[in-house]
Copies of this chain bind each other. A is one copy, B any other.
Amino acid sequence: MGGSLDIRELGELGLIRAIRRRAGAVGGVWRQGIGDDAAILRPRAGRELVVTTDALVEDVHFRFRTTDARSLGHKSLAVNLSDLGATGARPLGCVATLALPRTTPPERLGGFLDGFLAEARSSGCPLVGGDTVEGPVWAVTVTAFGEVRRGRALLRGGGRPADRLVVSGELGGAALGLALLEREVRPPAGAEPFIRRQRHPRPPYRLGAELAERKLATAAIDLSDGLARDLGHLLRESRLGADVHLDRLPLPRRFVPVCAHLGLDPLALALGAGEDYELLFTLAPGAPPVEQLGRRLGVRLTEIGRLRRGRGARYLRDGLPVPLPETGFSHFAAPRRIKAPKPAAER
């Protein structure tokens, strides 16, 4: 693909031209992409448009010491695809605003664009516009657009009592990866998948669209701030409670020993730490058994509990309630996101 991009040589206009060239021409629903005051989309009949936006800021969400520019490019789009998927939408395109220091190394900017555009291509979410400005640190804001059949969007508030509560994939891996990166110690054997997971999330955004299209799910949210917190959002908007079986949480292979190696509590990571970008959803009564559905859709799905009347989540182990501390990531109130989880002993 691209290679490096020297902003001081290109200037703002040259940079926009270079991005436009690399992004390529747009088609499909787009009448106009990069290169005018705005992008223009011709919506398809019978579809609703879904819009989501997310920002990643250097030294808050990531550090170049522990991530590479290409992964950052991938991730800054992927976190938005995750939100689109959670609404049941298929990606249509995106705009990106990039603030960066004028001292940015050319290979860093080139790598970022390569990662971003590769993910844009593979997900069918072309870059159609944006803004490039100077800033004291890197800050990437992406706004992504998707479409969903009229009235089929998945919302947080659609859950009903007795709906099954399902998560895709595995929990806690990204947070463990972050802990490994931030410790700066030689990672133990088997640590590589967790680091990859942190740097290079692969949200199952097509799953949400399938669930919406086939009317299988009643509510959904993507897991960006940790299961406990994101489930809280879903329950609050659905005005319901839930029983969650801790012994059913899908943990990655070698998760428990690597946590032990770092002195971390696996359950705290799986429940309380963010950036898994998996899908949490509630399954309508008429939908097939979860394992069968997962096989059909080609995604690992796990039933972790059920919605019930009442408020808030009740966590059970061996069928008995266990108390949990407040967990999950919050800007401003909590420690900065990139502060990795503390060893259990320090808490």
Contacts and interface: CB of A to CB of B under 8 A. Distances in A.
A48 B37 contact: no
A36 B133 CA distance: 29
Nearest to A135: B57
Number of copies: 2
A11 to B, nearest CB: 3
Contacts of A47: 43
Contact of A11 (B54, B83, B334): B334
Contact of A36 (B35, B131, B156): B156
A254 interface: no
Contact of A150 (B13, B42, B97, B133): B42
Contacts of A133: 55, 57, 60-61, 331
A216 interface: no
Interface in A1-50: 7-8, 10-15, 31-32, 35-43, 45, 47-50
Interface of A: 7-8, 10-15, 31-32, 35-43, 45, 47-55, 57, 59-61, 83-84, 86-87, 89, 95-97, 99, 102, 128-137, 139, 141, 143, 145-146, 148, 150, 153, 155-157, 220-222, 237, 330-334, 336
Given A60-B134, A139-B139, A141-B97, A38 B87 contact: yes
Nearest to A143: B143
Contact of A99 (B52, B55, B155, B221): B55
Contact of A333 (B12, B139, B141): B12
A96 to B, nearest CB: 8
A4 to B, nearest CB: 15
A43 B37 contact: no
B143 A53 contact: yes
23 contacts: A12-B332, A35-B156, A36-B155, A36-B156, A37-B52, A37-B220, A38-B87, A40-B49, A40-B51, A40-B153, A43-B43, A43-B47, A53-B96, A53-B97, A53-B130, A53-B141, A53-B143, A59-B136, A97-B97, A102-B332, A134-B336, A136-B136, A141-B141
